[in-house]
Amino acid sequence: MTAATVPDRQDSSDAGLRPVPWRRMAGVTWRQHRIALAGVAVLLGALAVWLWRLGIPVHHAYAAAVACHPASSASCQDLVNAFNSLNDHMTGPTSIGGVFLQLVPVLIGAFVGAPLLARELETGTFRYAWTQGFGRWRWTLAKLLLIAVVLAAATGACGVLVSWYYQPYFAPGSLGLYQIPPFVTLFSLRGVAFPAWTVAAFVIGALAGLLIRRVVPAIVATLAVYAGLAVAAGGFLRERYLAPLVTSNPNPSGTAWIISQWWTKDGRFVFAGNPPLNLVNQFCSAAPTGNSKNAPFGTFAQCLAGHGYTQWTSYQPASRFWPFQWIEGGWLLALSALLIAATIWLVERRAA
């Protein structure tokens, strides 16, 4: 008997095979990353329950204080004090709640984004994944886009809840209730900025994993890069999104973001910040004594104005909150798109 032989040629039907459909890659992405996505769901779900339970008494106390009349009565002041007493744990960026909230995007980026490609590269399973019919660039794009969309939707909904919690603190005309400037307190966790920062952290983690090819170092790199980006945005970029307003009013709005203050005399710059203690002592009869760092210099603006000194304040009004949100969200999404493109380009050209 002679062995049957097959001609050494590619079958015509194989040559025309179509690529694997995108919907199948969605299923693969879910199966591979369902544990990480479930962890995100648990984190955001616990955060939502926490904010809801804390927010209910805050809103009730706020509604009771606003509805009380006359506002100057002792009973109304008691209600105002009761509302103000609820802000200790959540209203500041350095408070327990504030720190926890600000860690959410970077935790998602480090523990969902960094292992996304690094684990495949570290374990060597990318050799199998990249030889399938879907193709390595489509495989990378599908993973990044699908997970980014899910994260953006989830954190966007969570950002709405964060804004709901803080709404009484930012409410205009709140009858002397405790208010906080909207630009400097958890700005990145409200509105458009929350999902934009989360997606940026996720993509930073994915690119770090591709470059480093190790999960743990990629997590560390993601934390470091995100921290640097957040500090740069909060400390340098954000205040320059729009040109700040300048006023000589010594008492600008309590919800305004004060950028800088300086003094002039006869139209010439004299000094920045608080006036020197010796100058206050010279012109103001009720000048404070002792440590100049603890002196209430703001109370002497009118006194010094009578001697030709003018205090100027550069600030961002609270009305610019949403324009700033869209500006920050826009450049973060543009950065994320650029990093996704760079990741796909590197996947296509990196040697297996």
List, as one string, the DSSP characters of 59-121.
HHHHHHHHH-SSTTSHHHHHHHHHHHGGGTTTSSTTSHHHHHHHHHHHHHIIIIIHHHHHHHH
φ, ψ dihedrals at 314, nearest 5°: -100, 125
Cα separation, 32 vs 7, whole angstroms: 39
For residue 50, being part of any structural domain is answered with yes
pLDDT at 281 exceeding the cut of 80: no
Residue pair 103/227 in contact (Cβ under 8 Å)? The answer is no
For residue 11, being part of any structural domain is answered with no
pLDDT at 15 exceeding the cut of 70: no
Confidence class for position 289, pLDDT limits 50, 70, 90: very low
Q: What is the pLDDT of residue 156?
A: 93
CA 201 to chain centre: 10
273 and 227 together in one domain: no
3-class SS letters over 111-131: HHHHHHHHHHHHHCCHHHHCC
Higher pLDDT, 59 or 273: 59
DSSP H/E element including 272? strand 268-272
Cα separation, 87 vs 47, whole angstroms: 17
For residue 27, being part of any structural domain is answered with no
Residue pair 150/37 in contact (Cβ under 8 Å)? The answer is yes
- Among the listed ranges 49-53, 75-79, 188-192, 296-300, which one has the minimum average pLDDT value? 296-300
Residue 20, classified by CB atoms within 10 Å of its CB into exposed (0-12), middle (13-18) or buried (19+), is middle
Higher pLDDT, 305 or 246: 246
- Among the listed ranges 136-140, 251-255, 312-316, 338-342, which one has the minimum average pLDDT value? 251-255
| Helix 96-108 / helix 193-212 crossing angle, nearest 10 deg | 50
| Helix 74-84 / helix 22-67 crossing angle, nearest 10 deg | 150
176 and 301 together in one domain: no
pLDDT at 218 exceeding the cut of 90: yes
46 and 69 together in one domain: yes
- What mean pLDDT, rounded, does the chain reach? 79
Confidence class for position 350, pLDDT limits 50, 70, 90: low
Q: What is the pLDDT of residue 226?
A: 96
Instruction: Name the 3-class secondary structure at 268.
Output: strand
236 and 263 together in one domain: no
304 and 192 together in one domain: no
184 and 292 together in one domain: no
> What is the model's pTM?
0.80
Confidence class for position 335, pLDDT limits 50, 70, 90: very high
For residue 12, being part of any structural domain is answered with no
139 and 276 together in one domain: no
For 130-175, the pLDDT digits (tens) are 666 667 777 888 889 989 999 999 999 998 998 888 888 776 554 4
For 88-118, the pLDDT digits (tens) are 555 554 466 667 888 899 999 999 999 988 8
pLDDT at 129 exceeding the cut of 70: no
DSSP H/E element including 271? strand 268-272
Tell me the residue range of the domain where 261 lies: 245-318
DSSP assigned state of 233 = I
Nearest C-alpha neighbor of 298 from the set 341, 349, 263: 263
For residue 168, being part of any structural domain is answered with yes
Work out the percent of the chain whose per-residue pLDDT is above 90: 30
Confidence class for position 204, pLDDT limits 50, 70, 90: very high
156 and 225 together in one domain: yes
Q: What is the pLDDT of residue 208?
A: 95
Confidence class for position 9, pLDDT limits 50, 70, 90: very low
For residue 190, being part of any structural domain is answered with yes
116 and 193 together in one domain: yes
237 and 263 together in one domain: no
Higher pLDDT, 45 or 26: 45
For residue 16, being part of any structural domain is answered with no
Greatest mean pLDDT among 195-199, 297-301, 306-310 lies in 195-199
The total number of structural domains that make up the chain:
2
Q: What is the mean pLDDT of residues 334-339?
A: 96
323 and 274 together in one domain: no
For residue 232, being part of any structural domain is answered with yes
Q: What is the pLDDT of residue 310?
A: 81
135 and 261 together in one domain: no
For 50-102, the pLDDT digits (tens) are 888 888 988 888 888 888 888 788 888 888 888 877 765 555 544 666 678 88
DSSP assigned state of 189 = G
